[in-house]
Amino acid sequence: MNEINDRREAFRRVFETPEVAIIYSYQKVNNLPHFVSLHNISKNGAFIKSSLRIDPSSRFKLVARNVDNQWDTFNCSIAWEETIQRSGNYSMGLEFSPTDNKPLQPVQAEEDIQIDTMDLEFLLNNRLLKVLPSKGICPFLNSLIPRNLSPGVQFITQDEEGESLFIIQKGLCTIKIEKDGEMVPVAQRREGSVVGEMALLTKEPRTANVISESNMKLWELNRSDFDRLVDEYPDLMEFLTELLTNRLENSTIIAVRNVGRYLITHQLGQGGWSIVYKGKHKALNMPVAIKMLKHNIAINEEFLDRFRQEGRTIAQMNHKNIVRIYDIEEIYRTIFIVMECLEGETLEALLKRKGALPFDRALSFLIQICSGLAYAHNKGIVHRDIKPGNIFIMPDDHIKILDFGLACTHGKEDFSMPGTVHYMAPEQIHGHSVDGRTDIYSLGILAYEMFTGENPYANTDVKTLLDMHFNHDIPDPSLLIPDLPEPVRAFILKACRKSLDDRYNSMQAVIKELLPVIQPLDSNNEKPVERNKQITVLLISHFEDQELALKQLLDEFGSRASELGLDLNITGKSDI
């Protein structure tokens, strides 16, 4: 916040991020007060933007926070007004009456509901509303409908189609499900909680009943109003991600934690594009990792169309050094990618803990990554985000490449899904078409980091980073590791050339370059220990109408067995 002199020589507070203020119209706009964004204020007047129009001839009250974090009230009239054509909002200059600075008496509204500064404080501090972009806060707040409930009111009914969610400001409610003709309590919700949020994510019937246990004050948001707001402010999709995350992690109702055939148990972590959960296949009890794309990513229709097409190819990849994708589910207005669940740590975590890796271990990791990428490139898939955080190390040092769920096919231009700046090739930064050589560039930087313990482009200033990618060759790793074998040094330097044509033309060419150091490493490895094979017989009995479901189950079981290196023989069926 800055203070400057306005043309009337009065100090004017200018807000870097607009404050939220309340307008109380004497004419009661829509029978309710409404919220506006306050951009600057002085003793003479203020500049606001409003999603609702105010009659230019009217007088009204503005309630705004002062420098002491208290609320002041001003009598206002409109000095000037301008319609913002692109957004349909209104910019207004307000003129204050010099005599009024009294405490506000809240305006009475329908159903004996009052809206005051305490309500605004509650809403702005609610966890869900904290994710809203600043330009969408007031339109969102103006779409909320206040409700007062007495004890014993059922305001959500199981099996009915949901049309709205409710944010609880005051009071207590109980969530009950109907089971064997009885209402069984399963949870309670208090101040700050949200109920009925799945209505904004799906049109499926309600999964429970919700009944007030005390006097309650709620804020209702209709799905139709939210859909309208999202069209105007796409950033509001972050709100849906927060809603869904809250439900998947905290709900005591198992049904709402289902994602197709999978059940989410808890969150493993999240990044800029996605949130990863631990889960399990409900029928096989098989552990899985479930990656949920954030809604502001999933709203991109161009991305979704390409992802659906390319996702089929990605899901068919089956290589020992690539994390296996089992399934792709579209539900709750986003996409879930179901993958094998891994035990171990990322290369990023290892490098932070250990620094430079022993040569043999770093080379082993490099060769495994090359193997996985060679397989993907032969399938026409470019990873686009090779970095330490996407390389997973199993307990036996077996490598798995992660995040192929956000890859693309050869020759595709980058469609709003850039990689990580420290590892991005120049053509990727420019948004030009990419191919396997783009991954080779990132792999060269990754190799430099494994062998030296340092990132060659470690500057945190993005502008400087981009300049280094465009105009500066990667440092010679032998300056830090003088005894680094020449084939490894040559690979790093050539892989990171600025021009696509100056790099290796394929991952097979990379492996050929590294052969002189790979072969001695292989010869030092011990021969595998002989193991005795055993046979396990599984007998499944089923009815004829279960044939299709059984086939799907066996297909999944067969894929998992193949990954584990098991020989599977399924015999024919017989009647019993």
Catalytic positions, please? 385
* Residue 183 to residue 177: CA distance in whole angstroms: 6
- Reduced 3-state DSSP string for 191-212: CCCEECHHHHCCCCECCCEEEE
- Reduced 3-state DSSP string for 129-184: HHHCCHHHHHHHHCCCEEEEECCCCEEECCCCECCEEEEEEECCEEEEEEECCEEE
- The separation between CA 361 and the C-alpha centre of its own chain, rounded to angstroms, equals 33
- Copy the structure tokens of residue 96: 């204050």
Instruction: Render 442-473 in DSSP notation, one character per residue.
Output: HHHHHHHHHHHSS-TT----HHHHHHHHHH-P
* Residue 463 to residue 249: CA distance in whole angstroms: 38
Residues forming beta bridges with residue 148, ordered by sequence position: 217
* Residue 163 to residue 275: CA distance in whole angstroms: 26
- Which residues, 6 or more positions from 341, have their beta carbon under 8 angstroms from its beta carbon? 278, 287, 288, 289
Residues forming beta bridges with residue 382, ordered by sequence position: 408
* Residue 328 to residue 339: CA distance in whole angstroms: 9
* Residue 174 to residue 1: CA distance in whole angstroms: 43
* Residue 384 to residue 184: CA distance in whole angstroms: 50
- Copy the structure tokens of residue 11: 């100090």
| Cα–Cα nearest to 359, from 479, 497, 489 | 489
* Residue 281 to residue 262: CA distance in whole angstroms: 5
- Which residues, 6 or more positions from 121, have their beta carbon under 8 angstroms from its beta carbon? none
Q: Helices 486-495 and 507-524 sit at what angle, rounded to 10 degrees?
A: 160
Residues forming beta bridges with residue 322, ordered by sequence position: 401
Nearest-5° Cα angle at 220, 218 to 226: 150
